[in-house]
Amino acid sequence: MDTAPKVPVKPQIPFNEIKYVLLDMDGTLLDKYFDDYFWEHLLPEKYAEKKHISFGRAKEELLCRYKLHEGTLNWTDIDFWSREVDIDIPALKEQIRHLIEVHPHVEDFLRSLKQHRKKVFLVTNAHYKVLDIKLRKTELGKYFDAAVTSFEMGHAKEKIEFWEKVQKRLGFEKDKTLFIDDTEAVLKTAKEFGIKYILYKAYSSSRAKKGTSRHFPSIDDFRELVYPEADEQSLPMSLQKPLK
């Protein structure tokens, strides 16, 4: 008999009980295609040129290096990777900043959160230099009460110490907080820390298959998150139910 837990049904989030919303950036709010293309194609290409090796060998070597640092501060530290591969990573990312895209209905959701006076925080493993590039390109910064990076906290989001420091910094109440991320390991740590409402973002990249979670309720698109108790006339048009 299959004893594996069933995939959770679509969430019914009680927004009237939530005062704080914590949001991941890459893969959750932003299309992860930018990052996947950079680390899996562009950087191996430039590395191959620099080392005079084949693209395949360069990619294999870099993927092995990435794996060694997964879940650590080095994982998204572009200064660390600049030193590792002797390539200016920030400058290379700037060259393809046009590929940075916001997921559908993200801004509608963020606007509705602000309209309903929720405290909205960005919590990301992204390096502060990358955060700056992406906020300048997308102009999402205006929706957040604060943004916190793992580098400020000294720990990756996969570590319980990150959440302990973030709570001290932001002052959110765990039983009145919603957290959304596309990485299950991060969500598990947040749950262990005690955050009550947790959602998994299933589509992280527009060019990749939908992810699944056996541990958390999931959403495909931010349009799924509306305020069921709110007056629909007060919601953005894109979040109102279609007329029958």
Provide mean pLDDT across the span 167-179: 97
pLDDT bucket at 44, cuts 50 / 70 / 90: very high
In this structure, of 44-53, 60-69, 71-80, 92-101, the range with the lowest mean pLDDT score is 71-80
Both 173 and 139 in a single domain?
A: yes
Both 144 and 78 in a single domain?
A: no
Q: Where are the alpha helices (DSSP H) in 25-76?
A: 33-37, 43-51, 55-69
For residue range 116-166, what is the model confidence (pLDDT) as tens digits?
A: 999 999 999 999 999 999 999 999 999 999 999 999 999 999 999 999 999
What pLDDT score does 226 carry? 64
Number of domains in the chain: 2
C-alpha separations of 142 from 24, 69, 128, 139, 238 in Å:
16, 32, 17, 7, 20
Q: Is 70 exceeded by the pLDDT of residue 244? A: no
Q: Is 50 exceeded by the pLDDT of residue 214? A: yes
What pLDDT score does 237 carry? 34
Most distant pair of Cα atoms in the chain: their distance? 62
Q: Among 45, 65, 98, where does a domain finish?
A: 98
- Could you tell me the two tokens for 81? 């990777």
What pLDDT score does 241 carry? 38
Residue 3 lies in a domain: no
Q: What is the CA radius of gyration of the chain?
A: 19
Both 71 and 48 in a single domain?
A: yes
Both 123 and 72 in a single domain?
A: no
Both 228 and 162 in a single domain?
A: yes
Provide mean pLDDT across the span 5-12: 55
CATH number at residue 186: 3.40.50.1000
What pLDDT score does 13 carry? 82
Both 19 and 118 in a single domain?
A: yes
C-alpha separations of 6 from 168, 182, 212 in Å:
35, 19, 11
DSSP-assigned states of every residue in 192-221: HHT-SEEEEES---TTSPPP--SSS-EESS
- Could you tell me the two tokens for 70? 């997964």
Q: Among 98, 126, 150, where does a domain finish?
A: 98
Both 200 and 112 in a single domain?
A: yes
d(CA 16, CA 116): 9
Residue 140, amino acid: L
* pTM recorded for the entire structure: 0.87
Both 23 and 45 in a single domain?
A: no
Both 124 and 211 in a single domain?
A: yes
What pLDDT score does 231 carry? 41
Residue 86 lies in a domain: yes
C-alpha separations of 10 from 7, 28, 59 in Å:
9, 17, 37
Residue 50 lies in a domain: yes
Print the domain residue range for 91: 33-98
Both 111 and 232 in a single domain?
A: yes
Compute CA 126 distance to the chain's CA centroid, rounded to the nearest angstrom.
Answer: 9
Both 142 and 62 in a single domain?
A: no
Provide mean pLDDT across the span 178-200: 97
What pLDDT score does 12 carry? 73
Residue 7 lies in a domain: no
Residue 149 lies in a domain: yes
